[in-house]
Amino acid sequence: MKAAAALAALLSVSPTVRLSAQDTSRIAEAASVLGPLIESYGVSGMEAPVRETVKRLLPAWAKPETDTAGNLWLRVGQGEPLIVFVAHLDEIGFTVDSILDDGSLHLRTRGGFFSSLFEAQPALVHTTTGDVSGIFLPREPSRDSSPARRTPPPLRVSVGATTRAATQALGVAVGSTITMPKRFVRLAGSRATGRAMDDRVGDAAQILAVRHLDPTKLKHQVIFVWSTREEIGLEGAAAVAAALGTSPKRVHAIDTFVSADSPLELQNFAVAPIGRGPVARALDNSAVTPPAYLDSLRAVARARGIALQFGTTNGGNDGSTFTPYGVVDVALGWPLRYSHSPAEVVDLKDVASLGDLVQAIAEIW
């Protein structure tokens, strides 16, 4: 607590700057970074296209490295304490479990979501030779008079072929990943929609922070990680945590704050309105941030004039894989409507402000 109080006192004398996300140029930059990330495809375990997009969007001085788990690392600065930021590259989707005699594809989910949101929608099968278009087939309703079955059958995809051989001739194989076509779309004002905002906003925030950092002025080492396979068990982050062990002082996992800020949801849990700034994930299903660290985080945000919300939400975060090594997890997020759906909604002011917050933490905490 003394450390938190000392940090708050130190930062209270720093000049407060105008919230940079209010500047239209900052919103435009956030959109220019987030758009290409949203429109890159990368189901858990197949994140290479997203990783390449991240590398392309980083500044020229950045020299990231890829580890054996597919995680992208960027080390900046020198000295202690070591601080780690981590945002995941992967998105929810499917893999081909088997190819049926009629040429259709039997699917297995990658990540947790409502499969019904994909039913009777366009599909994209990602193969080693390119993308193959298809549709998610509607599932047949129960044909008897008994109550509707509680567990619907797995989804299937048709690529238009009518035999297994014809489907295989298109390059489709067991293990191919499947998603839905997606676009990054600007809405009125500073809002935007698209699929896979989770966690491309976190990826974008780290890129924005790196772009505006002066690496020569950092007082300690910071490692930015874009991790793999978060949606299927935090696997990429676990590899990073094992590699670093007890070295980091803090880890800041950056991931969605699944907000109740939507017209149909009860306002008694996960209340963090979109457009009012990033969120300190004080409590989720995987980690609890110590109150003293929340106080320090508030002081950092206040010193830079960044609006900061606090809340509790469902879900886990990559930082929880570091806590067995004694590393404190101070998770960050942004409010997101309609998480894990084809039409997630964010406010670009929150995206820009989250980038500002990551930069501030790296520079002054």
CATH number at residue 164: 2.40.30.40
pLDDT digits (tens, 9 = 90+) for 139-152: 876 555 555 556 77
Name the band, by pLDDT with cuts 50, 70 and 90, for residue 250. very high
Best CA proximity match to 310, nearest among 283, 279, 289, 288: 279
Best CA proximity match to 314, nearest among 274, 284, 344, 289: 284
CB proximity list for 145: less than 8 A, separation 6 or greater: none
Q: Do 97 and 79 share a domain, yes or no?
A: no
Q: Is residue 184 part of a domain?
A: no
Three-state secondary-structure class, residue 51: helix
Model pLDDT, residue 285: 83
- Evaluate if residue 262 carries a pLDDT over 80: no
Sheet holding 344-347, edge to edge: 185-186, 191-194, 344-347
Q: Do 69 and 150 share a domain, yes or no?
A: no
Q: Is residue 189 part of a domain?
A: no
Q: Do 340 and 329 share a domain, yes or no?
A: yes
Q: Is residue 190 part of a domain?
A: no
Q: Is residue 346 part of a domain?
A: yes
Model pLDDT, residue 268: 67
Q: Report in angstroms the alpha-carbon separations of 311 from 77, 209, 270.
A: 31, 23, 6
Average pLDDT score over residue span 113-120: 88
Which residue's structure tokens are 């849990």? 269
Q: Do 83 and 202 share a domain, yes or no?
A: yes
CB proximity list for 234: less than 8 A, separation 6 or greater: 316, 317, 318, 320, 321
Comparing 151 with 364, the larger pLDDT belongs to 364
Domain boundary among 151, 179, 207: 179
CB proximity list for 345: less than 8 A, separation 6 or greater: 187, 191, 192, 193, 197, 274, 336, 337, 338
* Total structural domains within the chain: 2
Structural domain that includes position 301: 2-91+195-364
Q: Do 146 and 256 share a domain, yes or no?
A: no
Whole-model pTM: value is: 0.89
Average pLDDT in the chain:
89
Model pLDDT, residue 140: 76
Q: Is residue 58 part of a domain?
A: yes
- Evaluate if residue 29 carries a pLDDT over 70: yes
Q: Is residue 260 part of a domain?
A: yes
Average pLDDT score over residue span 66-78: 97
Q: Is residue 81 part of a domain?
A: yes
Sheet holding 309-312, edge to edge: 309-312, 279-283, 332-333
Q: Do 241 and 358 share a domain, yes or no?
A: yes
Model pLDDT, residue 171: 96
pLDDT digits (tens, 9 = 90+) for 319-339: 999 999 999 999 999 999 998
Q: Is residue 188 part of a domain?
A: no
CATH code where residue 288 lies:
3.40.630.10
Comparing 143 with 278, the larger pLDDT belongs to 278
Residues 243-247: contacts with CB within 8 Å, 24+ apart?
A: 243/67, 244/82, 244/84, 244/322, 244/325, 244/327, 245/325, 246/325, 246/326, 246/327, 247/82
Q: Do 225 and 272 share a domain, yes or no?
A: yes
Domain boundary among 134, 149, 179: 179
Comparing 210 with 152, the larger pLDDT belongs to 210
